[in-house]
Structure 1
């Protein structure tokens, strides 16, 4: 199977920008940013269990990476940058470490490179199983009201939080739970060593108010970019600054 996506045309000779959204998002998530990069052909994908790929499931990161390869080939995308936020960033980093043909570079916003010890993994497994059960059994507006109270979203205003709850509650709880299980940090490998040994450009964006991912960024062998006036969801909170940052990165490559 291949993933659903939305294409936007660019100028000849420019590499593709392939955008991957975060958990409970969809192909629309990056489009405000991507439209400011109109020289580049762009592909916005729906990850498994989300949007137009809502009926697609994966068993883990390897299957996800293989599906991404098949999807890009189906669009005849031979030279591309991967740009991913949060879950999409984790998928992008994992896929890049498989050394896919045609990869020009990876840009990650707020994506975790992986947990480093068994105790952390066990805590995450317990937490994610609790969320999975809630997504399967409870009204989504109630689940997301609690989801966006997690510390990583502390910079959101009440208005921003309410808007996200309304938007994300349009999802299918069962398919979200399946994707959360398949791509939990509890089962994601620690990608730090592979990313350090990479042969592709690796750029990392984080909101200046996102303390957790500011600290994680400092652990990575990547070019780091702090996005002003933003928390964890920087491309939503300050799309103009993120678009300008991406444009600068791409001009220099």
Structure 2
């Protein structure tokens, strides 16, 4: 593995590269409160056949957390990814994103469809269609951001790990739950608060109208217990021209954490089938 901090458009960005660089590249984009460490099991499975690049998105992990929330917006993050791939001389990667990272992956693909080989979305959404919904979500995210700044990371993590979205993670081993908690605790107050303000679901544009124009292969992965995102994926299937949707039994929102081997094997099988 090669790990480094690269300056990307003025932001020190943490990047890991695993495996043979001559192989096709899989780019991994984590979710909110995540980092490259969330992908350890996925990376182990994929590196035999792929060059795997994992990045800490702005405000997360070891990547810089600027003070201006506008720097976190979708358009800026898409430009960051484009610059990063250019700097690493990577052309047409397979892009895999989870939750928030899935929204970034979809935004990047909608912006640069000719520069992505295939798109893999785990528990992801194209955003909210209705302006009123976006406004309400944006206000809720702003309150949550203020709460993080007021009470600090630890109290936020205590709250965040108990939300219904992550209820299935209570089935994980003590060791697994501790790893997830430590990853969340390692985040920066400014980074998490500004991520909510800059690229929360309420702030990003809706990509629903872009789905029909994405002709490259798209793989949607959801956990059977995550009924909200199963529903979103089924709706997305109606618009995407070249799509496959799989639901992993007895998994919730973070499939790669709850069922890491099954998740990574399914990704590998899908990629082998389309290449």
1:194 positional shift: 0.6
Q: Does 1:234 align with 2:255?
A: yes
Q: CA separation in 1, counterparts of 2:98 and 2:153?
A: 22
| Structure 1 equivalent of residue 198 of structure 2 | 182
- Give yes or no for contact 1:148–1:161 (8 Å, CA) kept in 2: no
Aligned residue among 182, 187, 202 for 2:218: 202
Q: Deviations over 1:154-195 (max 9, x none)?
A: 222175656533431121111211122110111212112212
Unpaired segments of 5 or more residues in structure 2?
Answer: 1-6, 238-242
Q: CA separation in 2, counterparts of 1:127 and 1:11?
A: 42
In proportion to residue count, which structure has more helix? Answer: 2
Q: CA separation in 2, counterparts of 1:135 and 1:204?
A: 31
Q: Does 1:251 align with 2:272?
A: yes
Range 56-65 or range 123-132, more displaced: 56-65
Please report the TM-score for the alignment, with normalisation by the length of structure 1: 0.93
Any idea what SS the aligned residue of 1:155 has? helix
| Structure 2 equivalent of residue 120 of structure 1 | 133
Aligned residue among 1, 8, 31 for 1:22: 31
| Structure 2 equivalent of residue 34 of structure 1 | 43
Number of corresponding residues: 252
- Give yes or no for contact 2:122–2:220 (8 Å, CA) kept in 1: yes
Q: CA separation in 1, counterparts of 2:164 and 2:131?
A: 22
- Give yes or no for contact 2:61–2:186 (8 Å, CA) kept in 1: no
Range 209-218 or range 186-195, more displaced: 186-195
**For the structure 1 residues 59 and 155, does the alpha-carbon distance in structure 2 shift closer, same or farther, using more than 3 Å as the test?**
closer
| Structure 2 equivalent of residue 217 of structure 1 | 233
| Structure 1 equivalent of residue 59 of structure 2 | 49
Q: Does 1:67 align with 2:80?
A: yes
- Give yes or no for contact 2:109–2:115 (8 Å, CA) kept in 1: no
Unpaired segments of 5 or more residues in structure 1?
Answer: none
Runs of 4+ in 1 over 6 A off after TM superposition: none
Any idea what SS the aligned residue of 2:246 has? strand
Root-mean-square deviation (Å) = 1.8
Q: Does 1:134 align with 2:155?
A: no
| Structure 1 equivalent of residue 17 of structure 2 | 7
Q: Deviations over 1:222-249 (max 9, x none)?
A: 3111122311010000011111110111
Q: CA separation in 2, counterparts of 1:162 and 1:127?
A: 28
Q: CA separation in 2, counterparts of 1:126 and 1:162?
A: 31
Once the two structures are superposed, the pairs formed by residues 83-98 of structure 1 within 5 Å of their partners are: 83-98=96-111
| Structure 2 equivalent of residue 78 of structure 1 | 91
